[in-house]
């Protein structure tokens, strides 16, 4: 079985993984082959090795929407696997370090401070990716997902209805920390609120309600539940 560090250390596998993480949907060997200008068999081999290392999950699906006789064979697809722990070499033990920092925060305002730090981190990500604002919520969220994809994190829009939306992400930037220290879910929500505030015109972080109810699940992608509360004037 391929070790995760071996996969990350291989430039070609790393490029294929980054491509998969930048897509909103699971990828196929044909899509990887076209994007990276390689033979389909080479693309399939890379995807299989990434699946073996635990970075991707293989399945079959019919993308034509047809079923029954004549629908054709289902395509083998590869979706990004939930990233539950950080990959480090040598092991840096950042999760333990962050836990000590959190424990050192004053208990009375700890939750507020974590939220503020999350907002600051989200703003740093927005600046680093040059995240541009948009008038519509769907366009804004699409830009957030694209920006995160450029950093190597997979995220996609699951639902947009009025002022409510859901983003799913297998590789939320802060998920390993949240799993190690559930109290850091407040930090995570602050990060997402800051990204949305930067991407949606006329919205501030205090007008965004964010929840991340599935970060502690090992078998599911994170779901970021967002509600905008625009001021009426």
Tell me: do 44 and 116 sit in the same domain. no
Q: Which of 80, 107, 127 is the last residue of a domain?
A: 80
Half-sphere exposure of residue 86: CA atoms within 13 angstroms, side-chain side = 18
The parent domain of residue 35 ranges over 4-80
User: What is the per-residue pLDDT for 89?
Assistant: 77
Residue 197 in domain: yes
Which 3-state string (H, E, C) describes the chain? Answer: CCCHHHHHHCHHHHHHHHHHHCCCCCECHHHHHHHHCCCHHHHHHHHHHHHHCCCEEEEEECCCCCCCCCCCCCEEEEEECCCCCCCCCCCCCHHHHHHHHHHHCCCCCHHHHHHHHHHHHHHHHHHHCCCCCECCHHHHHHHHHHHHHHCCCCCEEEEEECCEEEEEECCCCCHHHHHHCHHHHHHHHHHHHHHHHHHECCCCHHHEEEECCCCCCCCCCEEEEEEECCCCC
Residue 105 scores a pLDDT above 90: no
Q: Find the CATH number of the domain harbouring 102.
A: 3.30.1380.20
Tell me: do 63 and 102 sit in the same domain. no
Tell me: do 130 and 215 sit in the same domain. yes
Tens of pLDDT, residue by residue over 183-216, are 999 999 999 999 999 999 999 999 999 999 888 7
Would you place residue 15 in the very low, low, confident or very high pLDDT band (cuts 50, 70, 90)? Answer: very high
| CA dihedral (191, 193, 197, 200) positive or negative | positive
Tell me: do 124 and 189 sit in the same domain. yes
- Phi then psi dihedrals of residue 133, to 5 deg: -85, 160
Tell me: do 75 and 133 sit in the same domain. no
Tens of pLDDT, residue by residue over 138-180, are 999 999 999 999 999 999 999 999 999 999 999 999 999 998 8
Q: Do the Cβ atoms of 215 and 185 come closer than 8 Å?
A: yes
Q: What mean pLDDT do residues 107-130 have?
A: 95
Residue 233 in domain: no
Q: Do the Cβ atoms of 26 and 79 come closer than 8 Å?
A: yes
How many domains in the chain? 2
Tell me: do 112 and 45 sit in the same domain. no
User: What is the per-residue pLDDT for 71?
Assistant: 60
Tell me: do 104 and 148 sit in the same domain. yes
User: What is the per-residue pLDDT for 219?
Assistant: 79
- Nearest CA to 11 among 44, 39, 36? 36
Maximum average pLDDT range among 18-32, 55-69, 72-86: 18-32
Residue 135 in domain: yes
Residue 85 in domain: no
Residue 86 in domain: no
User: What is the per-residue pLDDT for 2?
Assistant: 67
Tell me: do 114 and 221 sit in the same domain. yes
Q: What mean pLDDT do residues 84-94 have?
A: 82
What is the rounded distance in angstroms from the CA atom of residue 228 to the CA atom of residue 76?
38
User: What is the per-residue pLDDT for 136?
Assistant: 96
Tell me: do 122 and 222 sit in the same domain. yes
Tell me: do 62 and 128 sit in the same domain. no
Tokens of 37: 């200008």
User: What is the per-residue pLDDT for 217?
Assistant: 78
Residue 135 scores a pLDDT above 80: yes
pTM of the model: 0.86
Q: Do the Cβ atoms of 50 and 17 come closer than 8 Å?
A: yes
Tell me: do 58 and 116 sit in the same domain. no
Q: Which of 51, 80, 109 is the last residue of a domain?
A: 80
Half-sphere exposure of residue 207: CA atoms within 13 angstroms, side-chain side = 14
User: What is the per-residue pLDDT for 22?
Assistant: 93
Where is pLDDT greater, at 60 or 107?
60
Residue 88 scores a pLDDT above 90: no
Q: Which of 27, 58, 80 is the last residue of a domain?
A: 80
Tens of pLDDT, residue by residue over 33-76, are 999 999 999 999 999 999 999 999 999 987 766 665 656 678 89
């Amino acid at each position: 079985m391929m070790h995760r560090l071996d996969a990350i250390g291989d430039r070609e596998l790393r490029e294929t993984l980054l491509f998969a993480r930048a897509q909103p949907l699971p990828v196929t060997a044909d899509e990887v082959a076209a994007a990276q200008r390689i033979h389909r068999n080479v693309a399939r081999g890379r995807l299989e090795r990434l699946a073996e290392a635990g970075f991707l999950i293989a399945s079959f699906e019919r993308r034509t929407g047809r079923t029954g006789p004549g629908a054709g064979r289902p395509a083998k697809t590869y979706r990004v696997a939930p990233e539950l722990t950080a990959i480090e070499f040598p092991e840096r033990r950042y999760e333990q370090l962050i836990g000590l920092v959190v424990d050192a925060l004053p208990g009375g305002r700890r939750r507020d401070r974590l939220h503020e730090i999350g907002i600051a981190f989200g703003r740093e990500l927005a600046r680093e990716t040059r995240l541009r604002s948009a008038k519509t919520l769907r366009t804004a969220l699409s830009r957030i997902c694209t920006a995160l994809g450029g950093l190597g994190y997979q995220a996609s829009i699951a639902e947009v209805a009025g002022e409510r939306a859901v983003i799913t992400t297998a590789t939320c930037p802060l998920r390993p920390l949240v799993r190690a220290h559930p109290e850091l879910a407040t930090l995570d929500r602050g990060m997402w609120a800051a990204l949305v505030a930067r991407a949606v015109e006329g919205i501030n972080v205090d007008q965004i309600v964010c929840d991340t109810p599935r970060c502690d699940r090992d078998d599911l992608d994170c779901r970021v539940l967002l509600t905008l509360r625009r001021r009426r004037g």
